[in-house]
Amino acid sequence: MREHLDGSKKGQHDEGAAGRRTDGGAAPTADLAARRHTLIGLQSAAGNAAVAGVVQRWDWRDVVDPLGVTSALGGIVGFVMAGGVDQGQFKRDIYAARHRPIWRAEWDAWGHAVCGTCSAGLGGEGHAWLFGSGAEHLSELLRVLGIRGHDSFREDSFNQAVGRGIARRTGMGASAPELIRACTQAYLAGQMLVGPAREDAWLPWLGDREFFEIRRHEGKYWVANHAGPLSGSPAEWVEAVDPGERGMAQGSGRRPGTPIPAG
């Protein structure tokens, strides 16, 4: 929109000014004033949009609870349920739909949405945004200082916003389990972003909270297709398909063509 306005306006003014220039080549004062007015209008619109974007995050619950206690408690509830109570159910649901190993990064994407939706659903959306955004910026600061790694700021922030949006659409009165199920459905619909980490994956026979380290072989990722002792036999391994940015990839069922070396 801005590019179109700038381009078209500039072309119109330049063409018109060329026919109205004085011998000294100076553009008319009225033309300069019009340009200045357009620029001020664009700046004002951008500023108003930025302010509106912040203001609209807040609702009456943020006013009633100015410290955001309920939002903080909601975020804690979401953290506990995503990390423990509902973690296994999410992975089993996604495995049933995708027919492939589920990456830790997929669970992490869903978990951020769960924290965002519980924080905004049980408390106010403004404080949910403030706490979630603050946590991600703190992680970025720690990364810059070399204290810890953090390579998913974009995805985490996006998924928290997805969770807050779910809470807004669901409305007041929704229970935490209802909000969490809505997050799972949103993930299945490809509404979240999967972060870049591809270190390990989950399979049903590993237990609800266990992940298995993937192996790189023949230019692909592989994960064991059963529990217990493993040899390098191709029959014991299945491709750990990369889920893609939206987690929509389906399993291939492929096995390696040659034995996977031990270790």
Per residue in 140-158, pLDDT (tens digit) is: 777 678 787 666 778 989 9
The dihedrals phi and psi of 142, each to the nearest 5 degrees, come to -65, -35
At residue 172, the 3 state secondary structure works out as coil
Strand-pairing partners, residue 237, are 224
Indicate the range of 78-87, 166-175, 234-243 predicted with least confidence.
166-175
Contact 239, 253 (CB under 8 A): yes
User: What does the pLDDT read at residue 21?
Assistant: 43
Question: Of 234, 154, 163, 162, which Cα lies nearest the Cα of 195?
Answer: 154
Contact 86, 180 (CB under 8 A): yes
203: exposed, middle or buried (C-beta count within 10 Å: 0-12, 13-18, 19+)? Answer: buried
Which pTM does this prediction carry? Answer: 0.73
Could you read off the pLDDT of 104-134 as tens digits, one per residue? 999 999 999 999 999 999 888 878 888 778 7
